[in-house]
Structure 1
């Protein structure tokens, strides 16, 4: 079951590689992938904060000119921020060994 999404991951990496290969040199793309792998592989948890810097570099260096893509990206940013604020404000939790209410944020 846990390997069911492997084809999607491979497709995503190939898609990112093709997007960057159109506008960047091969050395830059190789360094980008190595730096991203060095950041994500040893990460103990899968959280959005580990993906933000590689994502920002991808967006900044892919030279997207399509207005529809920018609009979709903006909507995605707003949706993720609304979800994060909702989780922080309205989904507190408590632990037995900690006093008070805890809040989730990444």
Structure 2
């Protein structure tokens, strides 16, 4: 049904030291969630970051050389505009 939250499909179990659990509970409480919600949210964020950091592109030698040549070339006008636009955007951590 539309509007209803998704229900969990699987259980994830883990063991932790009591001090670690207490720390997680304090953080969950401050963030207004329960332990499970906090741990799942934190794990999903970290999993996403790990996967984004580990992205690999595989190329054969010819395609790789084309990329290197493109990177060494002077940017086109459109590329320069795009670079300038990206440089003008403030990062989230710089806005605080």
Q: TM-score range by the shorter chain?
A: under 0.3
Work out which of the two has the higher radius of gyration on C-alpha atoms and give 1 or 2. 2
Q: Identify which of structures 1 and 2 has the higher relative contact order when contacts are C-alpha pairs closer than 8 Å and 6+ apart.
A: 1
TM-score, structure 1 normalization: 0.26
